[in-house]
Amino acid sequence: MEEQIYQVNPNVIFEELQGGALLLDTDDFRLVELSSIALIILKKTDGLSSVTKIARDIAIEYGIDESSAFQDVRTFYEQLSDKKIVRLLSQEP
């Protein structure tokens, strides 16, 4: 299984709000609203941790099924990658 590692775009700033966060991409001044779980994933996006590790950590921390957590994390990264909020750093075999 490939291990994908993502990093937050350095031109993105965010402000935590009750129940989530607002992101601002300073390249195109686009605002993106995040839910509270999406914010948790974003905070774990450090450019070192794989999608699998982040999903495993969330599953343990919140007592949810690891495969469901993996699907949610992967979908989150796909959506934010399309918006250039995060970028794929590497895929390791």
The neighbouring-strand residues paired with 32 are 23
**84 in any annotated domain:** yes
| Bridge partners (DSSP) listed for residue 86 | 8
pLDDT at position 91 is: 76
Q: What is the pLDDT of residues 15-41, one digit of tens each?
A: 999 989 999 999 999 999 999 999 999
Total of domains in the chain: 1
Beta strands in 9-92 (DSSP E): 12-17, 20-25, 30-35, 86-92
Residue 93 domain flag? no
CATH of the domain at 31: 1.10.10.1150
Q: What is the DSSP secondary structure assignment for residue 1, as one 8-state letter?
A: -
Residue 41 counted as domain residue: yes
Mean pLDDT of 37-57: 95
Is the pTM value of this prediction over 0.85? yes
Residue 93 has pLDDT above 70, yes or no: no
